[in-house]
Structure 1
Amino acid sequence: MRNLREIQTQPIIGQAWTGRHVVLLHCTYNNQFINLYKSFHAPIEPPRHNCAETLSQLLSIGYHIHAITAISANEIQYFLVL
């Protein structure tokens, strides 16, 4: 009999999850995707090259924008929470 702790799956869209999740989305001011950082079990879809499209996907999953910060002269960070 397999131990249930041995079976770990990556959360996917449509799968139930619990707790709070955080995503940091880094983009240029010209709407280009740079990078995405997320909490370990945060559900996401693959990011797009277009930052607005990536942001749209995260909002449609249920994330809410918590903060937007300029982190350099050409880079912006979106802090999203689910």
Structure 2
Amino acid sequence: MRNITQTLIQPIIGHAWTGKHVVLLHCTNDNQFISLYKSYQAPIEPPRHNCAETLSQLLSIGYRIMAITPISLNQIQYFLVL
């Protein structure tokens, strides 16, 4: 049986990973960070209040933007894959 704490540890930059990873980044139209959803083992850095800075961090890690979708009148979703 696996230890529960082993499954709760989230990888960050500097840890090895394998496979494909997905990140959904939600932002306002005026560049404010709302939320970030990710696959369990996806490497990330802490998001910033500025959405462009958060996107910059994800792109520098190696993520690619696969789609940009408006999800309401003032919210945008970025779909990124590594």
- TM-score normalised by structure 2 residue count: 0.88
Structure with greater Cα Rg: 1
Q: Which runs of 4+ in 1 moved over 6 A?
A: none
Q: How many residues align?
A: 79
The percent identity for this pair of structures is 81
- Counterparts of 1:28-67 in structure 2, within 5 Å, are 28-67=28-67
For residues 67 and 74 of structure 1, the distance between their equivalents in structure 2, rounded to whole angstroms, comes to 17
Match of 1:72 in 2: 72
Mapped contact 2:67–2:79 kept (Cα < 8 A) = yes
What's the C-alpha RMSD, in Å, of the aligned pairs? Answer: 1.5
Q: Which runs of 5 or more residues in structure 1 are unaligned?
A: none
Partners of 2:49 and 2:26 in 1: how far apart? 11
**Which structure 2 segments of 5+ residues have no match?**
none
Determine if contact 2:28/2:76 at 8 Å carries over to the other structure.
Answer: yes
